[in-house]
Amino acid sequence: MFEIFVEESFAAGHALRGYKGKCENVHGHNYRVRVTLEGETLDGVGLLYDFVHLKRVIQQVIRALDHRFLNEFPPFDSVNPSAENLAKYFYEQAAAQLPGVENGVRIASVTVWETDTTAATYRPSPPAR
Ligand SMILES: [Zn+2]
């Protein structure tokens, strides 16, 4: 099994609803996002997936969020913009946009860092066999 990942970063503000503590107030993060792909088979060049394409997909998702107040941006106007929910959002957006995923390549996980030492990972449930 091979894995590759690409990381990108963006800045955004958020406030956690229903949370008692510092994070209920409006504040910002320099978020980092890592999207990891996995698969068994390399292409003729020896790649699992082209980094350039994966980077483009992540940047496209980021474009909508960068320098925004996440609480005003759907689905985060109703879903809390926690690192966990952001990771799931990135997974869903990237999965919908990944062009030409073949050879059984799939998104293994998405990790979103709020700070250098705090992060959340979303991993889809394995397909039922
Ligand atoms: Zn925060």
Question: 13-64, pLDDT tens digit by residue?
Answer: 999 999 888 788 999 999 999 999 999 999 999 999 999 999 999 999 999 9
| Domain 2-122 sits in CATH 3.30.300.20 | no
Residue 83 C-alpha to ligand 1 middle, in angstroms? Answer: 8
Residue 27 C-alpha to ligand 1 middle, in angstroms? Answer: 6
Q: What is the pLDDT of residue 98?
A: 83
- Who contacts 35 (Cβ-Cβ below 8 Å, separation ≥6)? 5, 6, 54, 57, 58, 90, 91, 94, 107, 110
Q: Which amino acid belongs to residue 13?
A: G
Residue 15 C-alpha to ligand 1 middle, in angstroms? Answer: 6
119: number of Cβ within 10 Å: 17
Residue 120 C-alpha to ligand 1 middle, in angstroms? Answer: 12
Q: What is the pLDDT averaged over residues 78-86?
A: 97
Task: With a cut of 90, say whether residue 65 has pLDDT above it.
Answer: yes
Residue 105 C-alpha to ligand 1 middle, in angstroms? Answer: 32
Q: What is the pLDDT of residue 70?
A: 97
95-118 pLDDT per residue, tens: 998 866 667 899 999 999 999 999
- Work out the pLDDT band at 68, boundaries 50, 70, 90: very high
Give the residue from 114, 102, 107 showing the smallest Cα distance to 15. Answer: 114
Place of tokens 């990237």: 94
